Structures are given as structure tokens and as C-alpha cells.
Amino acid sequence: MPTNKPIAPTAKKKPQVTASPERRRELLDTAAEVFAAQGYNATTVRKIADAAGMLAGSLYYHFDSKESMLDEILSAFLTELWEGYDTVLAAGLGPRQTIEALVTESFREIDRHRAAVAIYQKESRHLSVQPRFHYLSDSQVKFEKAWLGTLERGVADGVFRGDLDIRLTYRFVRDTVWVAASWYRPGGQHSPEEIARQYLSMVLDGIATRT
């Protein structure tokens, strides 16, 4: 039976604020710096918002959690890193040239994503056990395979010394490259390419065969 009961007005949804790509990038860059300086566990959404000059509630318009922000920071860094690495690995270079290109690409990534690299160095081990960040483990396996394979090929071809401990050499090269994120600052006296050149001149003189 019809009634004359008035129909309640439909509740209006709160409009979502969509940040421009530039503003979103700025917020992620700010979050990356806070994560790198304070650590993931010690960082709160409020701390990120304070660094960005906004209210914590306003930050939730753009990201649903600090985990989402970290995920986007790390995945963007690794996606770009592997675009560069895959190009190097597909180029058919000799072992020494491959090492040189990988090191140079690594320093370029430190230049572009210094804070993300620092976060990856500090946090990836415990983050990778979480399903959302399992890609960190996958990337590490791929990373190790690329470097170890290149070093092994260099030893087999007689480019690198036959008495090298391949895994120890890999760890040395890996750690001495990526630790640069702790001191490197973009726009400094040396370009990433120049730092890579200086680094390679020290490392390869120690592992290349002498003629």
C-alpha cells in the first residue's frame, strides 16, 4: 500500500581529491626522505604529512596508508632499475663492459632515487616476507643472477682472474656501489657517470687480468 512518507535524500559521497602527477610525485619524494631518515616502522603518516606541510587527514585523500606509499616508492625504483639493467644485459656486451654498464646504471639510479635506494638497503630483508612486498625477494634473486652470471662469464673468458671467489666479489661490488646512497647527494661536484668511472677504475684494476 503506497504511503505519503517523504523519501530521505541520498547521502552525498565525499569527493575524492586527485593529486596531479607532479604533486603525487612530490608527496612520494617527501615520504621517501622520511622513510630513509627515520625507518619504515618509526615513520607515521603524521610525520610524512608534517614534512609535506599538510594535515595527516589530507594525506589520506591521496594514499590509503604509509604501506601504499612505500610500495609505490620501491616498485617505481625497481621498475626503472630493471629497465636499465635489462637493456644492458640484452646488449650483448663482453663481461667487463657489462660490469661497467651495470655499475654506471646503478649510480644513475642512486642519483634519481637516492632515498628509495637507502630504504631498499635498510628495509628490504624484513619487508620481503610480507606478501605485498614479495617482489623485493624476486628482484634480489634476479639481481644476484645477473651479477654472478656476468662475473662467471668474465672468469670463463679470461677477462677476470681465475682465482676470484665469485660470490665474495659480487657482494663486494654490490655493497660498495649501493652504500653510496648514504653519502651521495644529487647535484654535487661529480656526476653519477664520473663517480662510476672512478669506482670502476679502482675495482677493475684489482680483478682484471694483467697483460
**Cα–Cα distance measured from residue 75 to residue 11, given in angstroms and rounded to the nearest whole number:** 37
- Could you tell me where the beta strands, DSSP code E, fall in 99-190? none
**Cα–Cα distance measured from residue 114 to residue 184, given in angstroms and rounded to the nearest whole number:** 8
Per-residue DSSP letter, 184: -
**Cα–Cα distance measured from residue 105 to residue 151, given in angstroms and rounded to the nearest whole number:** 17
Which pLDDT score, from 0 to 100, does residue 17 have?
52
**Do 184 and 108 touch, CB atoms closer than 8 A?**
no
Which pLDDT score, from 0 to 100, does residue 181 have?
86
**Cα–Cα distance measured from residue 188 to residue 183, given in angstroms and rounded to the nearest whole number:** 11
**Cα–Cα distance measured from residue 108 to residue 150, given in angstroms and rounded to the nearest whole number:** 20
List per-block mean pLDDT (blocks of 10 residues) for the chain, which spans 211 residues. 44 50 91 95 94 90 93 96 96 96 95 94 92 94 95 95 93 90 83 91 77 63
Nearest to 73 by CA among 24, 111, 106: 24
Which pLDDT score, from 0 to 100, does residue 184 have?
84
**Cα–Cα distance measured from residue 19 to residue 160, given in angstroms and rounded to the nearest whole number:** 50
User: Which pTM does this prediction carry?
Assistant: 0.83
